[in-house]
C-alpha cells in the first residue's frame, strides 16, 4: 500500500520530469527556429529576436541585397483582429513560445474594380521586385498584419525615425507588400513599417447606422498606428518620430488621419501625401451613395433589407470568397460617418474641406505633391475613342459633361438652368482647345485639364489650409526614369507611380529580371529624392541634412513649390495661372453661370454681362 509520503515523492518526481520535458521542448523549438530563419543571408547568422512585453518573443529574419547590403525584418506581425463589418479588435493573445516573423501574412480580400494598364502593372512589379519570391497569393479575413524593416546597426540614443506606409489601390486592391523599402531603409537609416488594412466591402461596407458604420479599413490603420507607437521602441525606433506616408488611396488615408480626431490623436508626428488628397472630388462619400448597393447586395445573397441587424447577420454567414466573387461593382471607400455609431465618434465627422477650413485637424508638418500627368494612362483607357485619338469636339464634349455636373452641384435651387457656354468658353480658352490642334495635342491638353482639376487644384487648396499652423512642403514631380523599360508616347510626361521608382530606390535594387542596367541619372535622382523624404521623416525638413538644394516651406508670403526634375528648381504659384483658375476663378464662374440664368430682368442681365466681361478679361490676363 502506497503511503502518503511515498505518493507525494512520486508526484514531485513526475512533475520535475514534466517541467524538464516542457523546458527542453521549448528550448529545442526556439533553437530550431533561430537556426532556420536567417533567410536570404546564406550564412549562419543568428536570426534577430525581439521580446514584446505582454505578447511574447518575435523571431525575425535578415534580408540581403547584393553582397554587403543587409537589414533586419520582422514580417507578418498581427496587430489586431478583423471581425467582419466591425472595428478592429486590438487586444491580442500572447504567442506560445516564440512567433515566427520571417514571412509575410495573407492579403486582405479585394476585388479589382478597374483593369490596370500594362505600364502601371510593370511599374508595380518593379516596386515589389525583391518581394516576388515570397508573394504566394493567399487571401484571408484575418489579414491585419504589418512588416517592419530595420537598418542593421545601432539605432543610437533616440532610435531611428519611423515611416509608416499605407498602400494605394482605390481602397479595393493592394497590399503591404506593394513596395520593397529595402534601399530607403539601408541608405537612409530609417525604419519603414508597411501596413495591411481591410479593403472593398470588407473594409468599407456601411449600413449608415451602428450595425456597420463603415470606414473599418481606416480604423485598421489607426489600430496599426497604436501598435507601432506602443512597440516600435523595442525594434530600435523612436516612438516620437513617426511619419505616415501614403500613395494614392494611401495618401488620402494619411490626409484623413489628420482630421480623424481621437482615432489618430498623438499617433503620428508628420505626414507625406503622394498623388492623393482628401479634398479631391468624390474621395469621401455620403451614405446616399451606397443605398442602392445595399439593396443589390441584400437581393444577391437572399438577405432581408430591414432591419439592418438582420442584413448584417445574414451577410456574416456568407463565405468570404463567395461574398467577394458576387458583390456588385461599387466604389467602396471613406464615408462621412458622423452619428452612425452609438459607441464612438465617427472617423470622418464632416467633409474634409469643412474640417480643414475650421482648423479641426491634427497640426503636424506635411509634405504633399503630385506627378505631372497623374491619371494619363487611365484616361487613355477610359476615353473610348478609336486609336486613343481625340478631336477638339471630343475635348469640349467631355469638358461640357464635367462642367454641367459641377454647375448642378453648385446650384442649390430646384430650378435647373445655367449658361454652360460661359464655363466651356473659359475652359477652351484656358487649354487652347482649337480646331488646328493635332490629336496628340488635344489629348495632352485634356490630360492637363483633368490633372489640374483633380490634382493640382486640391494640392494647393490643402497647402493653403495647412500652412497656417505647421510647415508644409509642396512638390511637383516632373521627371520619369531615363532607363527605357516602358513604352509611352513622347507627349506623355510622368504618369502615376513613376515617381515611386525614385522614392523607393528602385534603380539600386536587384531587379535584373526586368532591367539589365539602370541609367546613372536615375540613380542620382533617386539618391536625392530618398534623402529629401528621409530628412523630412527625421527632422520635419527635407533639406535638413546631406543635401544642397533649396526647398522653402509653403506659406502665404512664400507660395513656392519644388519642381522635381534634373534641375530641382523652386517655382511660384503666381507663375502657374491654372492654379488660380481652378481655386479662385472657376468657383466664381460657376456662381456667375447660375446667377446669370436666374436673373429675371434686363438690368440684372446687363450687370451680369458686365460681370462676365470682367471675368473673361481676368482669364485672358491669366493665360496671356
For residue 391, the domain's CATH number is 3.40.50.1820
| Last residue within a domain, chosen from 342, 364, 386 | 364
Q: Give pLDDT, residue 488.
A: 86
Task: Judge contact between 451 and 578, C-beta under 8 A.
Answer: no
Query: Does residue 612 lie in a domain region?
Result: no
* Number of domains, the chain: 2
322 and 456 belong to one structural domain: no
195 and 131 belong to one structural domain: yes
Q: What are phi and psi of 301, to 5 degrees?
A: -105, 10
Query: Does residue 585 lie in a domain region?
Result: no
* Residue 1, pLDDT above cutoff 80: no
- Give the DSSP per-residue string, 282-322: TSSB-GGGGHHHHHHHHHHTT--SSSHHHHHHHHHTS-HHH
Beta bridge partners of 133: none
Q: Give pLDDT, residue 263.
A: 95
Query: Does residue 607 lie in a domain region?
Result: no
Beta bridge partners of 245: 165, 272
* Residue 404, pLDDT above cutoff 70: yes
pTM higher than 0.85: yes
Domain boundaries, position 290: 49-364
Query: Does residue 494 lie in a domain region?
Result: yes
Q: Give pLDDT, residue 42.
A: 40
255 and 147 belong to one structural domain: yes
Task: Name the 3-class secondary structure at 468.
Answer: coil
Average pLDDT over residues 330-339: 94
Q: Give pLDDT, residue 36.
A: 40
Query: Of 172, 198, 210, nearest to 311 (Cα)?
Result: 210
Listed range (114-128, 146-160, 300-314, 524-538) with the worst mean pLDDT: 114-128
Measured CA to CA, the distance from residue 386 to residue 54 in angstroms comes to: 62
Q: Work out the angle between the directed axes of helices 420-430 and 602-623 (0-180°, nearest 10).
A: 10
Listed range (333-342, 422-431, 518-527) with the worst mean pLDDT: 422-431
Q: Give pLDDT, residue 599.
A: 54
Beta bridge partners of 335: 285
Higher pLDDT, 574 or 134: 574
| Last residue within a domain, chosen from 364, 397, 413 | 364
* Residue 394, pLDDT above cutoff 60: yes
Q: Give pLDDT, residue 421.
A: 82
Instruction: Quick: pLDDT tens for 492-541.
Output: 999 999 999 999 999 998 776 667 788 999 999 999 999 999 999 999 99
337 and 411 belong to one structural domain: no
Query: Does residue 602 lie in a domain region?
Result: no
CA 312 to chain centre: 28
Listed range (357-361, 371-375, 600-604) with the worst mean pLDDT: 600-604
69 and 203 belong to one structural domain: yes
Query: Does residue 21 lie in a domain region?
Result: no
Average pLDDT over residues 443-466: 94
* Residue 335, pLDDT above cutoff 90: yes
Query: Of 55, 114, 64, 115, nearest to 90 (Cα)?
Result: 55
* Residue 2, pLDDT above cutoff 50: no
343 and 380 belong to one structural domain: no
494 and 568 belong to one structural domain: yes
| Last residue within a domain, chosen from 335, 364, 393 | 364
Query: Does residue 547 lie in a domain region?
Result: yes
Q: Give pLDDT, residue 279.
A: 96
Average pLDDT over residues 601-616: 48
* Residue 141, pLDDT above cutoff 50: yes
Q: Give pLDDT, residue 113.
A: 60
Query: Does residue 371 lie in a domain region?
Result: no
307 upstream amide cis, omega within 30 of 0: yes
409 and 260 belong to one structural domain: no
Query: Of 76, 84, 86, 184, nearest to 134 (Cα)?
Result: 76
Q: Give pLDDT, residue 385.
A: 54
Q: What are the grid coordinates assigned to 341, written together?
A: 455609431
Q: Give pLDDT, residue 4.
A: 46
148 and 246 belong to one structural domain: yes
* Residue 552, pLDDT above cutoff 50: yes
* Residue 402, pLDDT above cutoff 60: yes
188 and 316 belong to one structural domain: yes
177 and 316 belong to one structural domain: yes
Listed range (2-16, 116-130, 147-161, 253-267) with the worst mean pLDDT: 2-16
Query: Of 395, 528, 378, 558, nearest to 467 (Cα)?
Result: 558
Categorize the per-residue pLDDT at 55 as very low, low, confident or very high, splitting at 50, 70 and 90: confident
Q: Give pLDDT, residue 69.
A: 79
326 and 386 belong to one structural domain: no
Spell out the SS3 assignment of 532-546: HHHHHHHHCCCCCCC
Query: What percent of the chain lies above the pLDDT cut of 70?
Result: 83
Q: Which residues contact 451 (CB under 8 A, 6 or more apart)?
A: 370, 372, 373, 374, 375, 376
* Residue 362, pLDDT above cutoff 50: yes
Spell out the SS3 assignment of 196-245: CCCCHHHHHCCCCCCCCCCCHHHHHHHHHHHHHHHHHHHHCEEEEEEEEE
Alpha carbons within 13 A on the beta-carbon side of 195: 29
Query: What percent of the chain lies above the pLDDT cut of 90?
Result: 60
* Residue 560, pLDDT above cutoff 80: yes
CA dihedral for 218, 222, 223, 228, sign (positive or negative) = positive
Amino acid at each position: 500500500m502506497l503511503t502518503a509520503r511515498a505518493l507525494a515523492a512520486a508526484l514531485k518526481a513526475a512533475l520535475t520530469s514534466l517541467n524538464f520535458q516542457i523546458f527542453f521542448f521549448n528550448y529545442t523549438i526556439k533553437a530550431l527556429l533561430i537556426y532556420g530563419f536567417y533567410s536570404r543571408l546564406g550564412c549562419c547568422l543568428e536570426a534577430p529576436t525581439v521580446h514584446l512585453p505582454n505578447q511574447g518573443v518575435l523571431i525575425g529574419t535578415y534580408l540581403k541585397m547584393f553582397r554587403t547590403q543587409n537589414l533586419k525584418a520582422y514580417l507578418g506581425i498581427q496587430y489586431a483582429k478583423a471581425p467582419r463589418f466591425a472595428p478592429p479588435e486590438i487586444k491580442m493573445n500572447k504567442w506560445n513560445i516564440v512567433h515566427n516573423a520571417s514571412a509575410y501574412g495573407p492579403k486582405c480580400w479585394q476585388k479589382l474594380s478597374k483593369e490596370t494598364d500594362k505600364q502601371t502593372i510593370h511599374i508595380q512589379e518593379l516596386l515589389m521586385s525583391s518581394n516576388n519570391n515570397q508573394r504566394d497569393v493567399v487571401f484571408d479575413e484575418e489579414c491585419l498584419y504589418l512588416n517592419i524593416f530595420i537598418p542593421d546597426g545601432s539605432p543610437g540614443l533616440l532610435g531611428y525615425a519611423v515611416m509608416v506606409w499605407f498602400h494605394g489601390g482605390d481602397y479595393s486592391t493592394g497590399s503591404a507588400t506593394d513596395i520593397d523599402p529595402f534601399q530607403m531603409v539601408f541608405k537612409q537609416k530609417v525604419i519603414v513599417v508597411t501596413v495591411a488594412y481591410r479593403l472593398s466591402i470588407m473594409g468599407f461596407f456601411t449600413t449608415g447606422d451602428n450595425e456597420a458604420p463603415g470606414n473599418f479599413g481606416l480604423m485598421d490603420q489607426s489600430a496599426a498606428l497604436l501598435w507601432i507607437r506602443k512597440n516600435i521602441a523595442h525594434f530600435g525606433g523612436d516612438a516620437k518620430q513617426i511619419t505616415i506616408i501614403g500613395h494614392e488611396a494611401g495618401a488620402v488615408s494619411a490626409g484623413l488621419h489628420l482630421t480623424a480626431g481621437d482615432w489618430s490623436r498623438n499617433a503620428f508626428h508628420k505626414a507625406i501625401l503622394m498623388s492623393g488628397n482628401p479634398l479631391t472630388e468624390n474621395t469621401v462619400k455620403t451614405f446616399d451613395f451606397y443605398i442602392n448597393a445595399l439593396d443589390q447586395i441584400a437581393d444577391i445573397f437572399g438577405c432581408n433589407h430591414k432591419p439592418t441587424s438582420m442584413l448584417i447577420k445574414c451577410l456574416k454567414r456568407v463565405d468570404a470568397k463567395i461574398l467577394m466573387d458576387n458583390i456588385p461593382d461599387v466604389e467602396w471607400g471613406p464615408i462621412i460617418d458622423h452619428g452612425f455609431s452609438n459607441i464612438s465618434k465617427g472617423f470622418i465627422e464632416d467633409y474634409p474641406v469643412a474640417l480643414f477650413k475650421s482648423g479641426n485637424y491634427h497640426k503636424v508638418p506635411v509634405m504633399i505633391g503630385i506627378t505631372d500627368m497623374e491619371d494619363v494612362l487611365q484616361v487613355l483607357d477610359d476615353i473610348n475613342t478609336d486609336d486613343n485619338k481625340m478631336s477638339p469636339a471630343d475635348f469640349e464634349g467631355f469638358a461640357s459633361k464635367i462642367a454641367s455636373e459641377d454647375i448642378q452641384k453648385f446650384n442649390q435651387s430646384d430650378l435647373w438652368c445655367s449658361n454652360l457656354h460661359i464655363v466651356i468658353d473659359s475652359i477652351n480658352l484656358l487649354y487652347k482647345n482649337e480646331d488646328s490642334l493635332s490629336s496628340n495635342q488635344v489629348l495632352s491638353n485634356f490630360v492637363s485639364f483633368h490633372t489640374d482639376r483633380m490634382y493640382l487644384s486640391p494640392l494647393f487648396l490643402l497647402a493653403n489650409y495647412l500652412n497656417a499652423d505647421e510647415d508644409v512642403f509642396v512638390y511637383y514631380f516632373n521627371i520619369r526614369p531615363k532607363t527605357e523599360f516602358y513604352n509611352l508616347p513622347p507627349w506623355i510626361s510622368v504618369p502615376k507611380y513613376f515617381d515611386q521608382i525614385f522614392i523607393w530606390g528602385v534603380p539600386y535594387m536587384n531587379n535584373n529580371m526586368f532591367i539589365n542596367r539602370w541609367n546613372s541619372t536615375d540613380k542620382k535622382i533617386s539618391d536625392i529624392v530618398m534623402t529629401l523624404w528621409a530628412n523630412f521623416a527625421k527632422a520635419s525638413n527635407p533639406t535638413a541634412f546631406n543635401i544642397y538644394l533649396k526647398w522653402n516651406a509653403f506659406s502665404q508670403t512664400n507660395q513656392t513649390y519644388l519642381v522635381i526634375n534634373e534641375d530641382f528648381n523652386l517655382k511660384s504659384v503666381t507663375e502657374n495661372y491654372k492654379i488660380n483658375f481652378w481655386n479662385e476663378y472657376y468657383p466664381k464662374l460657376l456662381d456667375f453661370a447660375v446667377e446669370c440664368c436666374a436673373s429675371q430682368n434686363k438690368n440684372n442681365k446687363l450687370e451680369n454681362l458686365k460681370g462676365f466681361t470682367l471675368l473673361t478679361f481676368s482669364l485672358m490676363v491669366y493665360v496671356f
